[in-house]
Amino acid sequence: MAIRQVRTIGDDILTKECKRVKEITPRVQELIEDMFETMYETNGVGLAAPQVGVLKQIVVMDVDDGNQYVLINPEIIETSGSQTGPEGCLSVPGKSGTVTRPNHVKVRAFDENMEEYELEGEELLARCICHECAHLHGQLFVDLVEGDLMDVNAEEEE
Ligand code: NI
């Protein structure tokens, strides 16, 4: 496993559409392991492959609910409610902003064995699913921020 360099805002790769994953190769397995290691090292709760420079539809998440989630080719299939709160991103270091997201999200994805599954989340997990899935389509949270981006010190970032 290895820690990979996190791309930051201004890097073109963060604005691109990611490709769907067709099969789990050793390279994809290694990427997923590295993404978890990179996310933990940087105290993030989620990380998307383009953030480490790979244009594949892969997301990893750990929102401290005892699970390590891998979302491959995720599609959000249901949302409801709303939540408004602070959000950050490992690709936008030192900044946070207020973003409104659905409070409940259901996503269909494949896991690290290419088994299809559905995941439902509320609050932070719902926010994280939306934030990370947006990365796969070249979208950053900064475009959704209400008001100004604020400086933060050592807050949890996605
Ligand atoms: Ni992010």
pLDDT tens-place string over residues 3-22: 999 999 999 999 999 999 99
Q: Which residues surround ligand 1, an ion (CB under 5 A)?
A: 89, 158
Dist. CA 16 → ligand 1 center (Å): 14
Ligand 1 centroid distance, CA of 102 (Å): 17
Q: Average pLDDT over the chain, rounded to whole?
A: 95
**How many angstroms is it from 67 CA to the middle of ligand 1?**
19
For the segment 114-126, the average pLDDT, to the nearest whole number, is 98
Query: What totals of helices (H) and strands (E) does the chain contain, helices first?
Result: 2, 8
Q: For residue 1, what pLDDT is reported?
A: 80
Residue 130 CA to ligand 1 center (angstroms) comes to 10
> Can you list the alpha helix ranges (DSSP code H) found in 11-122?
26-41
The per-residue pLDDT for 157 is 57
* End-to-end C-alpha distance for the chain, whole angstroms: 21
Cα 25 from chain centre: 21
Cβ neighbours of residue 58 under 8 Å, at least 6 residues apart? 18, 21, 28, 31, 32, 35, 48, 49, 70, 71, 72
Q: How far is the CA of 131 from the centre of ligand 1 (A)?
A: 6
Q: Which of 87, 132, 157, 158 is catalytic?
A: 132
Check if the beta carbon of residue 41 is closer than 8 Å to that of residue 78: no
pTM for the model stands at 0.95
pLDDT per position as a tens digit, 67-110: 999 999 999 999 999 999 999 999 999 999 999 999 999 999 99
Topology, domain 12-157 = Peptide Deformylase (3.90.45)
pLDDT of residue 154: 55
Q: Is the pLDDT reported for residue 156 higher than 90?
A: no
Is 132 among the catalytic positions? yes
Residue 47 C-alpha to ligand 1 middle, in angstroms? 6
